[in-house]
Amino acid sequence: MEINLISDTFTKPTSEMLKFMMSAKVGNDVFDGDPTVIFLQDKLAKLFGMESALFFPSGTMANQTAVKIHTQPGQQLISDKWAHIYNFEGGGVSFNSGVSCALIDGDRGMFTAEQVRQYINPDSIHIAETRLVAVENTTNKGGGACWNINELIRIKSVCDENNLAYHWDGARLFNAMVVKNEMPKQYGELFDTISICFSKSLGAPIGSVLLGSNDHMQKAKKIRKLFGGAMCQVGYMAAAGIYALDHHIERLADDHQRASYLGEVLNRNPYIKKVEPIETNIVIFNLIDELDDQKFIESLQREKILISSMGNGKLRMVTHLDFTDEMLEIVIKVLNNLKI
């Protein structure tokens, strides 16, 4: 049995999810004719108290579309230096939207309203115009950290004062909500746009959604087409999202517990230098300086346990729907008996 802790994107649909997908009523979504896609979009818009939602093939495309509808070429967005939209979307914000990024040196992928204020450019012919603030919650490279909603509210005020759009990259948004015990509507009222992934911790094979006003989603639909993301009978995939919303949110607490347990076990072992604080399903740690990351990864691989490196000595494990208690026991045994 192979145990994959590289990412929560490796999950396979459960047989119940597959059954639900197979029985979806579909139509041509390019012509707004897929009832299952429309159902998912409406369900999410309602859940977040936002006007409209749009289905996308990937979180990257949803984020890139959000940046595109909020900015013009030459303008600038503000994000954390670890943000997915800056680091892991192929440089898309400059390619697709022609914008530059002002990168805040935050804490585990999060920053403060005061920092945002410092990064807003003055009105000048010499300097790029600041137009958008993008936050990520939970943070990916920041180890699944969750924002304090009060800071998000303070940043919203800074955005309002300075006429900036406010986007939330919520690839793992429901992980944050489960931990913080907050309601979707509390977030819906803060942001201009929110992206959500179903293919991460929610266990769907494909699919993301962008939420926003009717006007923004009208624009987003044109951009999605331009990016090549308008799809025909895609209700089969939207069905996986509907199933995940109904069945896979509460169980995220189990993933979080397993991640926290892995962190405790790592912390007790002499080969570990540091484990980052664990709030959700991501465990990031460093080995002591004498040890080689690659060799550590390979010694786990020999035991059929797969983990990944994030560079700069950071190693990562991500718990998910297909990582069971039985697998957790195996991983713990291996970690405690590792000869390196």
Do you find a cis peptide bond into 11, omega within 30 degrees of 0?
no
H helical segments located in the chain: 15-22, 35-48, 59-70, 84-87, 92-97, 113-119, 149-161, 173-180, 184-188, 214-226, 235-247, 252-267, 293-302, 325-337
Taking CB atoms, the residue at the shortest distance from ligand PLP is 59
166 to 185, contacts with ligand PLP by CB under 6 A?
169, 171
Site for ligand PLP in 147-166 (CB under 6 A): none
C-alpha torsion angle, residues 181, 186, 190, 194 (rounded to 10)? 70
What tokens appear for 337 in the block?
């008996």
Closer residue to ligand PLP (CB): 71 or 79: 79
Considering only the stretches 33-41, 56-64, 226-234, 307-315, report the one whose residues sit in contact with ligand PLP under the rule CB under 6 A: 56-64
Closer Cβ to ligand PLP, 76 or 140, answer by number: 140
- Work out which of 11, 41, 52, 63 binds ligand PLP, going by CB under 6 A: 63
Among 4, 41, 52, 58, interactor with ligand PLP by CB under 6 A: 58
Instruction: Mark residues 209-238: x for contact with ligand PLP by CB under 6 A, - for none.
Output: ------------------------------
Cross-strand pairs, 286 = 274
Question: Among all chains, which residue has been given the structure tokens 């603030």?
Answer: 133
Please identify, among the stretches 59-67, 155-163, 226-234, 262-270, the one whose residues bind ligand PLP according to the rule CB under 6 A.
Answer: 59-67
Q: Strand pairing of 130-136 and 76-80?
A: parallel
Stretch that binds ligand PLP, among 55-63, 211-219, 254-262, 320-328 (CB under 6 A): 55-63
| Smallest separation (angstroms) from ligand PLP to the CB of 210 | 11
Position 116: which residue type?
Answer: V
Residue with tokens 């405690």: 336
Q: Quick one: which H or E segment has residue 211?
A: strand 208-212
Site string for ligand PLP, 81-100 (x = CB under 6 A): ---x----------------
Indicate the residue among 81 and 265 with the shorter CB distance to ligand PLP. Answer: 81
Q: Least Å distance between CB 140 and ligand PLP?
A: 4
Q: Which is nearer to ligand PLP, 10 or 296 (CB)?
A: 10
Q: Which of 11, 41, 52, 60 binds ligand PLP (CB under 6 A)?
A: 60
Tell me the two tokens of residue 11: 């999950």
Minimum CB distance to ligand PLP, residue 335 (Å): 25
Tell me whether residue 134 or residue 159 sits nearer to ligand PLP (CB atom).
134
4 or 199: CB nearest ligand PLP: 199
In the complex with ligand PLP, which residue's Cβ is closer, 139 or 287? 139
Scanning residues 296 to 325, which ones bind ligand PLP (CB under 6 A)?
none
Which backbone phi and psi does 109 adopt, to 5 degrees?
85, 5
Q: Which residues of 73-107 are buried (b: 16+ CB within 10 A; e: fewer)?
A: eebbbbbbebbbbbbebeebbeebbebebbbbebe
Distance, in Å, from the CA atom of 175 to the CA atom of 307, rounded to the nearest integer, reads: 20
CB of 146 to ligand PLP, least distance (A): 13
Q: By CB under 6 A, name the one of 71, 201, 208, 280 that touches ligand PLP.
A: 208
Between the alpha carbon of residue 248 and those of residues 155, 225, 262, 271, the distances in Å are 30, 30, 21, 35
Query: Residue 171: CB partners within 8 Å, gap ≥ 6?
Result: 59, 84, 136, 140, 195, 196, 197, 200, 208
Let me know the angle formed at the C-alpha of 173 by 231 and 328, rounded to the nearest 5 degrees. 105
Amino acid symbol at 262: L
Is 59 near ligand PLP (CB under 6 A)? Answer: yes
Q: Does 108 bind ligand PLP (CB under 6 A)?
A: no
Per CB under 6 A, residues contacting ligand PLP are: 58-60, 63, 84, 136, 140, 169, 171, 197, 199-200, 208
